[in-house]
Amino acid sequence: MSFLFEIFLNLLYLTAKLFYMKNLILFCAFVLSVFFTNAQITHYTFEQALIDDNVRSIEEDQSGNVWIGTISGITRFDGTDFTSFTTADGLGGDIVYDIMVSSTGDVYAATSGGLSVYNGVVWSNFTMGDGLPSNTIWSVEEDNLNQIWVGTSDMGVAYYNGLDWYVLGVDDGLVASGVKVIYADRNDNVWFGTGNGVSMYDGVDFTNFDNSTGLPGLLVNDIIQLYNGNVAVATSGGVGIYNFHSWTSITTLDGLPTANILSLRQDYAQNLWMAASVGLIKYDWSAFTVWDYDDGLTS
Measured CA distances, 74 to 106, 111, 180, 284 (Å): 14, 10, 19, 35
Q: For residue 82, give the 3-state DSSP assignment.
A: strand
Q: For residue 133, give the 3-state DSSP assignment.
A: coil
Query: Can you tell me the distance from the alpha carbon of 100 to that of 98, in angstroms, rounded to the nearest whole number?
Result: 7
Question: Which is it for the CA torsion 183, 124, 58, 252, positive or negative?
Answer: negative
**Residue 40 neighbours by CB under 8 Å, 6+ apart:** 33
**Residue 57 neighbours by CB under 8 Å, 6+ apart:** 13, 67, 68, 69, 96, 97, 98, 99, 110
pLDDT of residue 297: 47
Query: Can you tell me the distance from the alpha carbon of 102 to that of 61, in angstroms, rounded to the nearest whole number?
Result: 9
**Residue 48 neighbours by CB under 8 Å, 6+ apart:** none
- pTM, rounded to two decimals: 0.86
Measured CA distances, 94 to 53, 119, 137, 151 (Å): 13, 18, 12, 17
Give 174: exposed, middle or buried? Use CB within 10 Å, 0-12, 13-18, 19+.
Answer: buried
| Residue spans per domain, the chain | 218-298
Query: Can you tell me the distance from the alpha carbon of 139 to that of 32, in angstroms, rounded to the nearest whole number?
Result: 27
Helix (H) or strand (E) holding 276: strand 272-276
**Residue 269 neighbours by CB under 8 Å, 6+ apart:** 284
pLDDT of residue 76: 93
pLDDT of residue 126: 99
Angle at 98 between CA 185 and CA 84, to 5 degrees: 140
**What class, spelled out in words, does domain 218-298 have in CATH?**
mainly beta
Torsion of CA 96, 88, 133, 193, to 10 degrees: -10
pLDDT tens for each residue of 135-190: 999 999 999 999 999 999 999 999 999 999 999 999 999 999 999 999 999 999 99
pLDDT under 50: residue ranges of the chain: 1-5, 15-46, 296-299
**Starting at the edge strand that comes first in sequence, how are the strands of the sheet with 114-118 ordered?**
96-101, 107-111, 114-118, 123-126
pLDDT of residue 58: 87
pLDDT of residue 4: 47
Query: Can you tell me the distance from the alpha carbon of 239 to that of 242, in angstroms, rounded to the nearest whole number?
Result: 10
CB 99 within 8 A of CB 58: yes
